[in-house]
Structure 1
């Protein structure tokens, strides 16, 4: 697993689902590698979410308070955690403005969970703009997987999302180009042969 933490046991994952069987299954799978907390609804999620949590798997459909509302509260608290929405409902264009980091559609398998944790921890190494890029790119990919091409092309929210992703991609490309122009590695190694 790629992680900025020293090892996977230092990573805390919060699993939130009002269906106990699903929450317990995900927790059992993840417990092999991570410190796992389990919540069976919104209230439990908000009780268990604190600064130690690195990744949250958050069910969108819960009775007393849905995942979208829980997500808002988590962001208001300014917790430094990545949030992966998990749902059985096909995503719609409302996800464009939601402040989550990734999106999984049920049924979710063990490799989906581990892959998501890996991606979220890897993103911790990037600055805010790059994290925003990955979040928006994830939303774009999710919509493209679920919607017809014509529906995407006719939607203003998707057009805005596409433009934001492209702008952030250009920024990233520019940063890489500036870094490459500023550092001629071959010359650098010739100047400092002992470090090469």
Structure 2
């Protein structure tokens, strides 16, 4: 599994209805995309629990080929054409788990990034993070959760999809506009090593 996200920060006076319309008319295009586990179409609106307006899709790729096919194909080029080329962050998958509300459509998401501190044993830190994530994934309202790491920056990322409001202490909070999940059932559960 590979996790990927790009966040497009938009002007404070940007009409976020444009993003809602974009997802309403184009979101279904990835509903059967080969190699995609899931794509959560995430949006934050300034003043609604966010200091900025942003469009920030988050992907869990089942295959590297699927991710590459998207990045070097017409899907991502549409983003580049409309918004410029965003910085694409990606993480090696560490764990994925469906939550107790996995049958419900997600309406909110949290994305939490944590630096792996200097001087700690990376393997122990990652194992501890997975153990904490497993415990938190049992919370009511969790649809699914994933954990990844970027060893070039030593950054851990955790995506949690919620069926209802996201907790205030879970990281950056987003609204889920649409979920494309052609390969969600095939994403391996548990830790990935």
Q: Same fold (TM over 0.5)?
A: no
Between the two structures, name the one with larger relative contact order (CA 8 Å, sep ≥ 6).
2
Structure index of larger Rg: 1
Q: TM-score, normalised by structure 1?
A: 0.26
Of Structure 1 and Structure 2, the greater strand share is in: 2
Of Structure 1 and Structure 2, the greater helix share is in: 1
